[in-house]
Amino acid sequence: MPAPFTLRFLNSLSRTGWIAMALFAVIALGVLPALHLFVPEGSPLHVSGFVITLGGKLMCYAIVAVAMDLIWGYAGILSLGHGIFFALGGYAFGMYLMREIGTDGSYHSHLPDFMVFLDWKELPWYWAGTDSILWAAVLVLVVPALLAYVFGYFAFRSRIKGVYFSIITQALTLATMLLFFRNETGFGGNNGFTDFRRILGYDITSPEMRVILFGLSALVLMLTLLLGRYLVTSKLGRVLAAIRDSESRVMFMGYNPLHYKLFIWTLSAMLCAVAGALYVPQVGIINPSEMSPANSIEIAIWVAVGGRGTLIGPVIGAALVNLSKSYFTVAFPDYWLFFLGALFVMVTLWMPEGVVGLWKRIRTRRAA
Amino acid sequence: MNAVQQDIGADANAPAVGHILQPGLDISHKVILYLDDISVSFDGFKALNKLSLAIDAGELRCIIGPNGAGKTTMMDVITGKTRPDSGTCFFGQTLDLTRMSEPEIAHAGIGRKFQKPTVFENHTVFENLELAMKMDKRARVSLFARLDDMGRDKIADTLRLIRLDPEADRVAGLLSHGQKQWLEIGMLLMQEPQLLLLDEPVAGMTDEETERTGELFKSLAGKHSLVVVEHDMAFIEQLGGKVTVLHEGSVLAEGNLAAVQADPRVIEVYLGR
């Protein structure tokens, strides 16, 4: 007798897992927002808008890292172009944010400023309906998913694997970046979208809106972790891990790896897109540099640092690398990339299982 | 008598003049695997050269031959990994293996054990068997699939058969070489194939393990058909089936082990000129 779904869902996390999740929910959805909104600014307990925005950003990165880990750590597909899905999600929601500016732009036109600047008289067809937040949400999910599905279908059907796949994803994100750099593409060229004003009529920089976006990011991160947990403990997850370890053996058992890979690949892209859509209103800008190949490589580094093949590892990795990035790019702006490269080399050589692996090793050594 | 026959008004007592093509494996003519005139070449090297071979349903066939005789390539052709340049390859009367993909062939009922034991080293012994179990293997089904009691029992039976029940929750990478071979045989059985292709199944096993493997294979013959590629002559003698000798991509000799070993051509191939 198979257990009902709710029970299976509850069993997907351990007791400690649920406690940690609840604790995170209380802090991210209750404590931090309250300290930001209701504690006066002078008080030592006040949480500044900077912290809220930084936290929201980090959680978006963490979602991307978990999405990356689902395909890399669990299915063995290393994508070095995941930034493209993040950016597309950001652009899709950015279109809505641009439309919400209304006639408050520098040129007081109903068109976004960059279109006025290009002397365009009306919106291109693909901007149709983007004044609706619901349609924007549909675009956020569908456009990256479609791209991932079509790209994945051809790549996986041709059995492109390993480093060849990684290189093609780099090319994909680079090519798309170059496309978005062009003004004629209709997404603001190299300036991208910025100067957002409102979401659903409410001021985007208000503390309330900040807290809502922060809370949404936390919620999506938690859902992503739960979904990830369900997936990796399902039979599908075990088949994916088997494909990672020996694809031909899986085929001789009667599985068709194409559909398994396509599913997790497309899902991963959609998670990245949602993260991108949450990220853009919080940082206030999206431009083609989000699609630069280096950005996508950085995502892989977050996962490697945190620990591949675990779900909490990528979250830790994304937070650690980005916090040190914030520090390094201010303290030693010229050396950040050297540091990042060195970090990657060191992690690969001495911490192949990342921070989580290191932690596990310390614990078993203590126990021994 | 089925509905279609009724529709066309066939008399149940009339002699059959043809039969309706049924999906799935058809072994009505006693032959389960039929290779005819198969050639495969890699960069001019003929790995298989007009190879013809027929395996009967329920048969236990041993295939021997020196290195490079084409034994593994033959298995690759049967399982769809390699496409032959020419020739036909049928599973039963109706399934053309040269037109099927690897997963399709596996579904049709051909299971393969590789020369190098390939178990999933990061999965437990139990999970290895679960993955191999015969069931709907589409992605959308796997997403919600849950192991039922019947499946659990089947895995438990197989665990006992391959004597790995104490190791069920161990990660397969920690098993000994012989145990991995047994696990792979167990995985093959979980697939419930009609035809088992076994590439050097006892390599690296102790004498005792080898003998037990022989017993297992003999008990499987009849219900399943087995094709065993081996170098271990004592093991082949134990199995006692018909032996086919491959040499340079085609069949050199066929018959029982004693007859084959006495064949001067076989002696020449094995001992050199």
Asked if residues A59 and A247 have their Cβ atoms less than 8 Å apart, the reply is no
Return the bridge partners of B250, or none.
B247
Mean predicted confidence (pLDDT) in B42-56: 89
Give the nearest chain B residue to A264 (CA atoms).
B139
3-class state of residue B16 by DSSP? coil
Residue in B79, B114, B139 closest to A259 by CB: B139
| Residue B14 pLDDT | 57
* Maximum separation of any 2 CA atoms in chain A, in Å: 73
Residues B24-33 have pLDDT tens digits of 777 777 889 9
Asked if residues A54 and A326 have their Cβ atoms less than 8 Å apart, the reply is yes
Domain extents in chain B = 28-271
The reply to whether residue A236 touches residue B139, judged by beta carbons under 8 angstroms, is yes
Q: For residues A184 and A178, what is the distance between their CA atoms, to the nearest angstrom?
A: 12
Number of domains present in the structure of chain A: 1
pLDDT tens track, chain A, 368 positions = 445 666 666 777 788 888 999 999 999 999 999 999 998 888 888 888 899 999 999 999 999 999 999 999 999 999 999 999 999 999 999 999 999 998 888 888 888 989 998 899 989 999 999 999 999 999 999 999 999 999 999 999 999 988 999 999 999 999 999 999 999 999 999 999 999 999 998 999 899 999 999 999 999 999 999 999 999 999 999 999 999 999 988 988 889 999 999 999 999 999 999 999 999 999 999 999 999 999 999 999 999 999 998 999 999 999 999 999 988 888 888 888 888 889 888 988 888 889 998 888 888 888 76
Query: What's the DSSP call for residue B193?
Result: -
Taking 3-state DSSP, the helix, strand and coil percentages for chain A, each rounded to the nearest 5, stand at: 75, 0, 25
Chain A residues in contact with B111 (beta carbon < 8 A): 252
Q: For residues B107 and B127, what is the distance between their CA atoms, to the nearest angstrom?
A: 19
| Residue A316 pLDDT | 95
Residue in A2, A253, A254 closest to B148 by CB: A2
Share of chain B above pLDDT 90, in %: 34
| Residue B205 pLDDT | 85
The reply to whether residue A263 touches residue B143, judged by beta carbons under 8 angstroms, is yes
Predicted TM-score of the model (pTM): 0.85
Residue in A3, A236, A254 closest to B106 by CB: A254
Contacts of A180 (CB under 8 A, 6+ apart): A87, A91, A187, A189, A192, A288, A291
Q: Is A203 left (phi over 0), alpha (psi -120 to 50) or beta?
A: beta
Q: For residues A314 and A299, what is the distance between their CA atoms, to the nearest angstrom?
A: 9
> Which residues in A have their CB inside 8 Å of a CB on B?
1-3, 8, 231, 234-236, 238-239, 241-242, 245-246, 248-256, 259-260, 262-263
Give the nearest chain B residue to A74 (CA atoms).
B122
Name the burial class of residue A339, with classes exposed (0-12), middle (13-18) and buried (19+) by CB atoms within 10 angstroms of its CB. Answer: middle
Chain A residues in contact with B123 (beta carbon < 8 A): 238, 241-242, 245
Domain residues for the domain of A155 are 5-367
3-class state of residue B102 by DSSP? helix
**pLDDT band, very low/low/confident/very high, at B19 (cuts 50, 70, 90):** low
Query: Which one of B77, B101, B137 would you mutate to disrupt binding with A, by most A Cβ within 10 Å of its Cβ?
Result: B137
Query: Going along chain B, which residue ranges are E strands?
Result: 31-42, 45-56, 60-64, 86-91, 95-96, 110-113, 195-199, 225-229, 242-247, 250-255
Q: Give chain B's mean pLDDT.
A: 86
Residues recorded for chain A: 368
Residues B63-87 have pLDDT tens digits of 998 888 888 899 999 999 999 999 9
| Residue A236 pLDDT | 94
DSSP-assigned letters across all residues of A156-176: HHTT--HHHHHHHHHHHHHHH
Return the bridge partners of A203, or none.
A198
**Given a cut of 90, is residue B3 above it in pLDDT?**
no
Chain A residues in contact with B106 (beta carbon < 8 A): 251-254
| Residue B161 pLDDT | 87
| Residue A225 pLDDT | 95
**pLDDT band, very low/low/confident/very high, at B146 (cuts 50, 70, 90):** confident
Chain A residues in contact with B142 (beta carbon < 8 A): 234-236, 239, 260
| Residue B2 pLDDT | 47
**pLDDT band, very low/low/confident/very high, at B23 (cuts 50, 70, 90):** low
* Class in CATH terms, B28-271: alpha beta
| Residue A3 pLDDT | 54
Residues B86-132 have pLDDT tens digits of 999 999 888 899 999 988 998 899 999 887 778 999 999 999 999 99
Query: Which one of B120, B188, B196 would you mutate to disrupt binding with A, by most A Cβ within 10 Å of its Cβ?
Result: B120
Share of chain B above pLDDT 70, in %: 90
Chain A residues in contact with B131 (beta carbon < 8 A): 235, 238-239, 242, 250, 253
DSSP-assigned letters across all residues of A32-59: HHHHHHTS-TTSTTPPPHHHHHHHHHHH
ipTM: 0.83
What sign does the dihedral A321-A323-A327-A333 (CA atoms) show? positive
| Residue B220 pLDDT | 87
**Given a cut of 70, is residue B266 above it in pLDDT?**
yes
